């Protein structure tokens, strides 16, 4: 039974349930019989996120989703897996004490329990497993309830790959080294995530898992998830990178439909700007482009190319090498000195318009005047290795190609297009230096966690009253905002812990500090902090272009009309 249907932005619904068994049953049912326009279904501890192609599809689903009444129970076609564990975890003794067991009893409970993969999240291959009893019925008997293990008070900055951990009612294996706050009880060498397999995740939602005690010690080396590029043959090289600037990544439209495995979409942070760059040079919208942070990228052409630069406002310079000039007498060997050298010629080319780059010419992007991310598209599309159907670089999970490096060469996917665009204006609004940038957002799904109290406005009111500044804690994962005074930070009206929920691009998460965080392209699939609102789709590119110390105001708007709301 659906407990609540909450809006998460303009085109997504957060469907809430009373038990994990209902979540898993609903997720199976919605995958078998999807709603009109449904793009993804992402389960978590007590909620399922449904995203849709259009606002109309989402509105229609909000009226009908409560009628779905799937039956709880195990998936009869689930795979059976065994994972060998050496129980040598750093928190084994403490975890046993916390739940009133001996070490031997905890190990026996962990190995004798039938576990079921419930949902993915946090990182690719990190699958939350629960005792099978919790998946069979909405309200398990008291005797079937597993021990609940609290998380660490202070998360570790690094948990090694292969660490077997428990927290709450869950058990999981860390697929790669990463921060984490679970109790570590053992180690396994099972490869939880491998993009070379037809099914990258070893444990998928619905799989049945049995942990088996291994007597011998297990050592695990962290497996690199980034994809290195083998440079093309010299004859195929279209261009080379002379200097990558602060950071130059290969990005496309990202990976869609894999969030239930812990894989977020990623892709260009400012999707409108990347799409515009490709359209200007005649590429498909999904063709890989360079995403350049803070300018500084320098390229040399080895073939005749058509390029376009969009996104941040920046000066784009092309330098043509001087021709080697000699007199006729010098050529005939008479001993006459060569004619004076002609210096290189530098010209500026217009941004947001296609331009030629001839062999030997060099392209340079200056530091941006407005915005921070530029997009460079080359007609024919950059050739880059794909991971799970995309060449996007996901900085949080490590999926995708490594950042571009000096001396690296790139070839093209196809031939230069005969059809290119014409000069265009910026499709993404850019932040103006010295002017407060307005980010519009749709309230929810957890704005009720910030209700007004005596002498204190509601969280929605405080969020809009406060002048916020972009902190130094900002990247492709998200942006943390700071107020002038800690007294202006948002305050929860509820103190209980929020179970992990699916996140959306643009979510305004509020951690315990009260400083809001806007999630960007590489955001985690799930999160444990309440989301007070979601930045509207039209402003996501603007958010990705905000530099540190930029001033920002948040304005709540109606999801249908984008007109300001009275909160």
Residue 217 has pLDDT above 90, yes or no: no
Q: 315 and 258, same structural domain?
A: yes
Compute the average pLDDT of residues 523-528.
92
Which residues make beta-bridge pairs with 554?
439
Residue 273 pLDDT grade (very low, low, confident, very high; cuts 50, 70, 90):
very high
pLDDT at res. 223: 61
The C-alpha angle 336, 341, 343, rounded to 5 degrees, equals 175
Backbone φ and ψ of 274, nearest 5°: -65, -40
Mean pLDDT of the chain: 92
Flag whether 147 is in a domain: yes
Closest CA to 404 of 376, 371, 369: 376
The C-alpha atoms of residue 368 and residue 351 are separated, in whole angstroms, by 12
Flag whether 332 is in a domain: no
pLDDT greater at residue 398 or residue 218: 398
Are 27 and 43 in contact by the 8 Å Cβ rule? The answer is yes
List CB contacts of 388: < 8 A, sequence separation 6 or more.
Answer: 195, 200, 255, 258, 263, 399
Going across the sheet that includes 12-16, the strands are 4-7, 12-16, 47-52, 38-43
The C-alpha atoms of residue 258 and residue 273 are separated, in whole angstroms, by 24
Q: 231 and 207, same structural domain?
A: no
Residue 226 pLDDT grade (very low, low, confident, very high; cuts 50, 70, 90):
low
pLDDT at res. 121: 84
Flag whether 219 is in a domain: no
pLDDT greater at residue 140 or residue 123: 123
> DSSP 3-state assignment of 55?
helix
Residue 144 has pLDDT above 80, yes or no: no
pLDDT at res. 212: 97
If phi over 0 gives left and psi between -120 and 50 gives alpha, with beta otherwise, what is residue 506? Answer: left
Q: 461 and 389, same structural domain?
A: no
Q: 38 and 119, same structural domain?
A: no
- 35: CATH: 3.30.1360.40
pLDDT in tens, 151-195: 888 889 899 999 999 999 999 999 999 889 999 999 999 999 999
Compute the average pLDDT of residues 239-246.
98
The C-alpha atoms of residue 382 and residue 288 are separated, in whole angstroms, by 5
Residue 331 has pLDDT above 50, yes or no: no
Q: 90 and 46, same structural domain?
A: no
Residue 392 has pLDDT above 70, yes or no: yes
Q: 441 and 406, same structural domain?
A: no
The C-alpha atoms of residue 271 and residue 464 are separated, in whole angstroms, by 26
Q: How many domains does the chain have?
A: 4
Residue 330 pLDDT grade (very low, low, confident, very high; cuts 50, 70, 90):
very low
Residue 140 pLDDT grade (very low, low, confident, very high; cuts 50, 70, 90):
low
Residue 332 pLDDT grade (very low, low, confident, very high; cuts 50, 70, 90):
very low
pLDDT at res. 309: 98
Residue 329 has pLDDT above 70, yes or no: no
pLDDT at res. 340: 58
Flag whether 258 is in a domain: yes
Closest CA to 272 of 415, 424, 381, 56: 424
Q: 450 and 301, same structural domain?
A: no
Q: 517 and 447, same structural domain?
A: yes
Are 283 and 379 in contact by the 8 Å Cβ rule? The answer is yes
- 124: CATH: 2.40.100.10
Residue 221 has pLDDT above 90, yes or no: no
Q: 237 and 158, same structural domain?
A: no
Residue 428 pLDDT grade (very low, low, confident, very high; cuts 50, 70, 90):
confident
Strands (E) across 195-324 are located at 208-213, 226-227, 239-244, 247-251, 289-293, 297-301, 305-313, 316-320
Q: 394 and 254, same structural domain?
A: yes
Q: What is the DSSP string of 480-534?
A: EEEESSGGGS---S--SPPPPEE--TTEEE--TT---EEE-TT--SEESS-EEEE
Residue 235 pLDDT grade (very low, low, confident, very high; cuts 50, 70, 90):
confident
Compute the average pLDDT of residues 400-423.
92
Domain that holds residue 268: 227-322+344-410
Residue 337 pLDDT grade (very low, low, confident, very high; cuts 50, 70, 90):
low
Can you read off the two tokens belonging to residue 478?
Answer: 């998200």
- HSE-CB at 151 with a 13 A cutoff on CA atoms is 13
**CA 169 to mean position of chain CA atoms:** 26
Flag whether 29 is in a domain: yes
Q: Which residues of 319-342 are buried (b: 16+ CB within 10 A; e: fewer)?
A: beeeeeeeeeeeeeeeeeeeeeee
Can you read off the two tokens belonging to residue 202?
Answer: 């070893």
The C-alpha atoms of residue 232 and residue 384 are separated, in whole angstroms, by 10
Which of 67, 93, 108 is at the close of a domain? 67
pLDDT in tens, 9-23: 999 999 999 999 999
Residue 381 has pLDDT above 60, yes or no: yes
Q: Give percent of the chain with pLDDT exceeding 70.
A: 92
Q: 465 and 392, same structural domain?
A: no
Strands (E) across 168-246 are located at 170-173, 178-180, 183-187, 208-213, 226-227, 239-244
Which of 17, 35, 67 is at the close of a domain? 67
Q: Tell how strand 362-365 and strand 183-187 pair up.
A: unpaired
Flag whether 114 is in a domain: yes
511 exposure class (CB count in 10 Å sphere: 0-12, 13-18, 19+): middle
Flag whether 417 is in a domain: no
Residue 81 pLDDT grade (very low, low, confident, very high; cuts 50, 70, 90):
very high
Which of 187, 213, 239 is at the close of a domain? 213
Q: What is the DSSP-derived secondary structure letter of residue 371?
A: E
Q: Please, what is the end-to-end C-alpha distance for the chain in angstroms?
A: 31
The C-alpha atoms of residue 255 and residue 283 are separated, in whole angstroms, by 19
Flag whether 563 is in a domain: no
The C-alpha atoms of residue 32 and residue 53 are separated, in whole angstroms, by 18
Which residues make beta-bridge pairs with 41?
50
Q: 307 and 209, same structural domain?
A: no
Q: What is the DSSP-derived secondary structure letter of residue 397?
A: T
Residue 461 has pLDDT above 90, yes or no: yes
Whole-model pTM? Answer: 0.91
């Amino acid at each position: 039974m659906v407990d609540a249907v909450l809006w998460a932005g303009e085109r997504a619904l957060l469907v809430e349930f009373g038990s994990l068994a209902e979540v898993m049953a609903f997720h199976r049912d919605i995958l078998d019989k999807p709603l009109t326009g449904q793009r993804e279904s992402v389960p978590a501890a007590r909620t399922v996120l449904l995203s849709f192609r259009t606002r109309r599809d989402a509105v229609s689903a909000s009226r009908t989703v409560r009628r779905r009444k799937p039956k709880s129970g195990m998936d009869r076609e689930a795979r059976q897996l065994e994972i060998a564990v050496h129980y040598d975890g750093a928190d084994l003794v403490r975890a046993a004490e916390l739940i009133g067991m001996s070490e031997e009893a905890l190990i026996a409970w962990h190995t004798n329990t039938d576990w079921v993969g419930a949902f993915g999240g946090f990182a690719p291959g990190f699958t939350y497993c629960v005792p099978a009893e919790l998946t069979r019925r909405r309200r398990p008997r008291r005797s079937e309830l597993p021990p609940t293990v609290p998380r660490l008070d202070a998360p570790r900055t690094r948990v090694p790959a292969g660490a077997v951990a428990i927290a709450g009612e869950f058990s999981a294996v860390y697929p790669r080294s990463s921060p984490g706050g679970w109790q570590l009880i053992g180690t396994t060498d099972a490869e939880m995530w491998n993009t070379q397999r037809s099914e990258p995740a070893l444990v998928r939602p619905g799989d049945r898992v049995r942990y088996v005690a291994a007597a011998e010690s297990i050592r695990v080396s962290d497996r690199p998830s980034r994809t290195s590029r083998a440079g093309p043959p010299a004859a195929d090289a279209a261009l080379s990178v002379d200097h990558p600037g602060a950071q130059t990544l290969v990005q496309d439209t990202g990976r869609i439909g894999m969030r239930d495995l812990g894989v977020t979409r990623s892709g260009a942070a400012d999707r409108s700007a990347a799409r515009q760059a490709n359209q200007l040079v005649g590429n498909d919208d999904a063709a890989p482009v360079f995403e350049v942070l803070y300018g500084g990228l320098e390229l040399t052409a080895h073939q005749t190319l058509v390029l376009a630069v969009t996104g941040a406002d920046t000066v784009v310079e092309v330098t043509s090498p001087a021709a080697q000039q000699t007199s006729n007498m010098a050529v005939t060997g008479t001993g006459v000195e060569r004619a004076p050298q002609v210096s290189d010629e530098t010209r500026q080319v217009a941004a947001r318009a296609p331009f030629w780059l001839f062999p030997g010419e060099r392209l340079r992007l200056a530091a941006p005047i407005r915005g921070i991310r530029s997009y460079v598209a080359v007609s024919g599309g950059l050739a880059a290795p794909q991971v799970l159907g995309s060449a996007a670089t996901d900085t949080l999970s490590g999926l995708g190609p490594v950042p571009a490096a000096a001396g690296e060469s790139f070839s093209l996917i196809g031939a230069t297009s005969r059809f290119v665009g014409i000069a265009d204006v910026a499709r993404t609004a850019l932040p103006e230096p010295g002017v407060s940038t307005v980010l519009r957002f749709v309230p929810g799904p957890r704005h009720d966690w910030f209700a007004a109290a005596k002498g204190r406005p509601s969280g929605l009111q405080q969020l809009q009253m406060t002048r916020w500044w972009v902190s130094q804690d900002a990247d492709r994962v998200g942006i943390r905002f700071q107020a002038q005074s800690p007294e202006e930070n948002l305050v929860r009206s509820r103190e209980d812990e929020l179970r992990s929920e699916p996140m959306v691009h643009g979510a305004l998460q509020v951690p315990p500090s009260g400083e809001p965080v806007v999630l960007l392209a590489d955001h985690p699939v799930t999160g444990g902090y309440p989301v007070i609102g979601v930045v509207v789709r039209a402003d996501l590119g603007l958010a990705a272009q905000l530099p540190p110390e930029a001033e920002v105001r948040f304005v709540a708007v109606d999801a249908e009309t984008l007109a300001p709301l009275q909160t």
